[in-house]
Amino acid sequence: MRQAAEPNAALARLMKNGGGVQRMTRAVARLANTHTAAWMECVLEDARSSDVVLFSSIASYVGLSVGECLDIPAIGLGLWPTSPTREFASPLLRPWQMPGWLNLVSHHAVNRLLWRHFRTSLNEARRKIAGQPERRTMWRRYPILYGISRHLVPQPKDWAAEWQICGAWRIPDGPWTPPEDLAEFIASGDPPIYVGFGSMGGFGKRRLLAAIIDAVAGRRAIFYPGWSGIEPSELPSNFFIVGETSHSWLFPRMSMVIHHGGAGTSHAAAHAGVPSIVIPFAGDQFFWAHRLGSAGVAPAYVEHRKIDAAALARAISFAERDDVRARAKELGALMAQEDGVRNAVESILRIVASDRRGA
């Protein structure tokens, strides 16, 4: 995935220039189609001794094919809601207020578009590796468990029983000792602003970095370069540079989190009880920016190609408001009561047990 985000690779243009769902589906399809045969071979071999196949994202059709081949349950795991509903549009489209019937159509349209881009390489792998016939239509009804907080996306009322919002999936807090210089920096003043864009790379980093430096305006900040390629030497002295850190340890110690709107980071910031400022790049990031904004814990988003220092300064001022901080703490407290992992595991066990009874 990191190679795919490097300059001139499959996802780089998408991260740099953005684009609609057509460009996004083509980009991820190029990535998936390169690896479909290898995934099929690996998963088929490992799953022969398994009771169930769990799959997600761009490997979904491989997981479904292997489950079908071995006649064992195949369960999807999702971090954004792709199951069709009338309550909101496909997360891969820009958030827009639409009538329910059009929301439903958007899900079917996006899912069919993905199938169209993936099916050729999938069917070739099915034939050569699994000895399966060509799949002419995409799968429509199979179990999908979502590691999503119900406080950000309530369970849609029109979903089938096999589609479940479980609550966020979090690694249980364990002993994590921060580097001494990081702990000292945090303890030496007011809670800093966190800035990081995770796996985003290939974008116009100099312009975005200049906007961030101007908008932060000398405040204490922590910066995670991630895959951005931004060098620590490009940042002024009020920025402290970190590598991989525990979000569950770091985020509650921040005043706010400026991020790209990935599902994991969005949930981690909300669970930490601090405001977010989302600068989305592509895909479902606009969906999470909108959801955090609707929860009152983030300002209206501005995408990375259009953000400037003035807009980001206004967003920081929003996140510093007492009422926004109070809403963020309230949301974090509600999310802390969810046990998404337990809910998912119980559902998996129930589905496997039901399949055995049916056999």
Q: What is the DSSP string of 220-252?
A: -EEEE-TTS---GGGS-TTEEE--S--HHHHGG
pLDDT for the residue 98? 87
Q: Which tokens in the block code for residue 293?
A: 């904004």
Q: What percent of the chain has pLDDT over 70?
A: 91
pLDDT of residue 199: 65
Q: Model pTM? A: 0.90
Q: Is 143 helix (H, G, I), strand (E, B) or coil?
A: coil
**In the structure, what pLDDT confidence band is assigned to residue 206 with cuts at 50, 70 and 90?**
confident
Q: What is the DSSP letter of 77?
A: E
Going along the chain from its start, the domains and CATH numbers come out as: 3-168+339-358 (3.40.50.2000), 180-336 (3.40.50.2000)
Which is higher by pLDDT, 197 or 90? Answer: 90
> What is the model's pLDDT at position 231?
77
Average pLDDT over residues 90-113: 91
Give yes or no for a contact between 72 and 51, defined as CB atoms under 8 angstroms apart: yes
Angle between helix axes 205-216 and 309-319 (nearest 10 degrees) is 50
Q: What pLDDT does residue 283 have?
A: 86
Beta strands in the chain (DSSP E): 53-55, 74-78, 144-146, 163-165, 193-196, 221-224, 239-241, 256-259, 276-278
Question: Given this model, what pLDDT does residue 31 score?
Answer: 76
| The predicted structure's pLDDT at residue 54 | 97
The 10s digit of each residue's pLDDT in 124-159 is: 999 999 999 999 999 988 999 999 999 999 999 999
Whole-number average pLDDT of the chain = 90
Rounded Cα distance between 259 and 13, Å, is 19
Predicted confidence band at 25 (pLDDT cuts at 50, 70, 90)?
Answer: confident
Q: Which of 192, 195, 191, 227 is nearest to 210 (CA)?
A: 195
